[in-house]
Structure 1
Amino acid sequence: MNVDLGDLNAFLTVARAGGFREGARLSGGSASALSDAIRRLETRLGVRLFNRTTRSVALTAAGNGLLARLEPALGEVANALDVVNGYRDRPAGTLRLNIPVSAARLALPEIIPAFLAKYPEILLEIITEESFVDLMAEGCDAGIRYDERLEQDMIAIPIGPRKQRFAAAASPDYLARNGTPQHPQDLLDHSCIRGRFASGAMFPWEFEKADQTLEVAVTGPFIMRPGGGTDLAVEVAKGGIGIIYLFEDWLTPFFKEGSLLPILEEWWPSFPGPKLYYPGRRLVPSPLRAFIDFIRAWPLHT
């Protein structure tokens, strides 16, 4: 049976993504091209692989059977092709990383240019995503997350700063008008700029000092979602609307320029920095192996 490998990859993309539009977004192609590939594949196989409606795309029984056998088979094909990379002078291929916006801003700006300069034949694709995702379903090789977001079957290595802190800050104008909090509980009387996780839960404001830890249920007129909303939240804080609670490294440039002032600094909680994680039960592609080795050799930052 003469079946095109590209059509099989298109099937895998649509099946993992749960639809043509999402599959096109993840693969960087077009929904119409994926649809044409699936139509060719179904014609050659003589069976319907997806049930399509105007609102959904779902695998048929035949499609589920093909997916179960095809994923490991194409994985072995990819691994076989990657063996050839071992005979090259330098690793080559595509490396896809799934990372939160905070890591893109705080952990990678120095690392990525140096890595790409060392490995010019590697194509690096970054997907920013705040919620923890299935790397395989998203077509990613590895991700970056914090300890509490790592699955148990993943291998993880530190990347970027080994220790970080959350910081509270406000503009000089806000503090002049409302006073400076001296204790975390004082925040209950202040306007605060809050954050909400992708899950819908509010981001907690936690503080620690010596053996004391506490969480304050703050209120305020502005709520940000992860991603681009963080930059806007900083601008809102700089505009004197309220107190912000964010990564210290994110706020440091504004401390230096004086547009924001640190508050409650002795109460700022510290936590382990981010980690690069990847599945431990598959052969590591050469671009990812090169990145892992590069990260292991990168100077430690406490």
Structure 2
Amino acid sequence: MAEPDLADLDAFAAVARERSFRGAARLRGVSASALSEAVRRLEEGAGVRLLNRTTRSVTPTEAGQQLLERLAPALREVAAALDAVNGFRDGGGLIGTLRLNVPGIVSRVVLPPIAARFMLRHPGVMLDVVAEDSFVDVLAQGYDAGIRYDESIAQDMIAVPIGPRQQCYALAAAPAYLAAHGEPRHPRELLAHRCIRHRFINGHTLPWELERAGEVVRIRPDGPLLTNGAEMQMEAATQGLGIIFSFGEVLAPHLASGALRPVLREWWQSFPGPCLYYPSRRLMPAPLRAFVDLLREPESRWAGALT
């Protein structure tokens, strides 16, 4: 029998535990075909079938079950050993790379103070962050974890709150715009106003949704600017070109300075804050584990400005 590859053994164990190539592939962030090829190599090397496959199920054979029972604790020991070796260097400092995929708003107003505290604590870790608003399969794309809002997170993911627990969408306009065009008193009046709209990279635009006392109004306003550029939207708003609809945290400095004034304040809709999500604690990379530990500390330890 040829010397088995550790990765193939791990692939077999994942499929045998999940009783599914697709289920194991989803948890591991690889394709089902890649796992099937790994199991095929292992079976050919061993000269014995390890998994019974039908169109409806995958179950270990007697040989496969015996291998799984003896393999599982060994793989846990290997994972722990690699985590210790790869995660720490001389003096106990954590090393490695933590790759995150996050929405643009999180990269601008939620993640920076948390990331700064993490990097100060773990200077040997490189934080690799990609900001994009479309939902992606983070594991298939090579990320350790993602950050999204609750409605975008699959139920089989582990989710850890990050940043504010409540956020809101807010409306604002420059005093000059309101002086020239008047101030809307109801969300439907926005249809008669010049509005600055956001378009996602994939071309989608979302309706503006506002709520007061249980009444929800969704509209698709028109206006002079449609862009995915947050800076361009803000510049247009502060120059008096229209009404902007954005995260409250984004508008807050401009509202505080007087460059913008709140519009339809009583209709601003709140929603739960974002979560860091990842598929499993098994074989969790040391940098990700440290980042999760940081998030689970009391809020005063990581939120807000560094002190």
TM-score between both structures, scaled by the size of structure 2 = 0.70
Deviations 1:158-187 (A, max 9, x none): 100100000000111110100011111110
Percent identity of the aligned residues?
49
Match of 1:214 in 2: 217
State the alpha-carbon separation in 2 of the partners of residues 110 and 290 from structure 1.
Answer: 16
Match of 1:160 in 2: 163
State the alpha-carbon separation in 2 of the partners of residues 115 and 135 from structure 1.
Answer: 21
Q: 1:79 to 1:98 in 2, by over 3 A?
A: farther
Is the CA contact 2:193–2:243 (under 8 Å) kept in the aligned structure 1? yes
Q: 1:119 to 1:65 in 2, by over 3 A?
A: closer
Deviations 1:148-207 (A, max 9, x none): 111222111110010000000011111010001111111011011112233433221011
In angstroms, what is the RMSD of aligned CA positions?
2.7
Amino acid at match of 1:97: L
State the alpha-carbon separation in 2 of the partners of residues 298 and 160 from structure 1.
Answer: 12
Amino acid at match of 1:244: I
- What secondary structure sits across from 2:277 in the alignment? strand
Match of 1:173 in 2: 176
Q: 1:216 to 1:195 in 2, by over 3 A?
A: same
The alpha-carbon deviation at position 147 of structure 1 amounts to 0.8
Match of 1:230 in 2: 230
Match of 1:191 in 2: 194
Deviations 1:99-149 (A, max 9, x none): 111001111121111111111121111111211111122211011100111
Amino acid at match of 2:168: R
State the alpha-carbon separation in 2 of the partners of residues 143 and 65 from structure 1.
Answer: 23
State the alpha-carbon separation in 2 of the partners of residues 288 and 279 from structure 1.
Answer: 12
Match of 1:17 in 2: none
State the alpha-carbon separation in 2 of the partners of residues 211 and 181 from structure 1.
Answer: 20
Q: Does 1:69 align with 2:70?
A: no
Match of 1:34 in 2: none
State the alpha-carbon separation in 2 of the partners of residues 224 and 268 from structure 1.
Answer: 22
Deviations 1:219-239 (A, max 9, x none): 1121122xxx01111101111
Q: Number of aligned residue pairs: give it.
A: 235
Is the CA contact 1:97–1:143 (under 8 Å) kept in the aligned structure 2? yes
The alpha-carbon deviation at position 67 of structure 1 amounts to 8.9
**Residue of structure 2 aligned with 1:108, choices 108, 111, 134:** 111
State the alpha-carbon separation in 2 of the partners of residues 163 and 66 from structure 1.
Answer: 40
**Residue of structure 1 aligned with 2:123, choices 120, 123, 127:** 120
More deviation, 163-172/215-224 = 215-224
Match of 2:185 in 1: 182
Deviations 1:30-69 (A, max 9, x none): xxxxxxxxxxxxxxxxxxxxxxxxxxxxxxxxxx669943
Match of 1:84 in 2: 85
Q: Can you give the 5+ residue segments of structure 1 that lack an aligned partner in the other structure?
A: 2-63
- What secondary structure sits across from 2:123 in the alignment? coil
State the alpha-carbon separation in 2 of the partners of residues 103 and 141 from structure 1.
Answer: 17
Amino acid at match of 2:170: A
**Residue of structure 2 aligned with 1:142, choices 141, 145, 149:** 145
State the alpha-carbon separation in 2 of the partners of residues 66 and 162 from structure 1.
Answer: 38
Match of 1:294 in 2: 294
More deviation, 194-203/96-105 = 194-203
Match of 2:256 in 1: 256
- What secondary structure sits across from 2:112 in the alignment? coil
State the alpha-carbon separation in 2 of the partners of residues 144 and 294 from structure 1.
Answer: 15
Is the CA contact 1:188–1:219 (under 8 Å) kept in the aligned structure 2? yes
State the alpha-carbon separation in 2 of the partners of residues 217 and 65 from structure 1.
Answer: 44
Is the CA contact 1:79–1:285 (under 8 Å) kept in the aligned structure 2? no
Q: 1:68 to 1:103 in 2, by over 3 A?
A: farther
Is the CA contact 2:160–2:275 (under 8 Å) kept in the aligned structure 1? yes
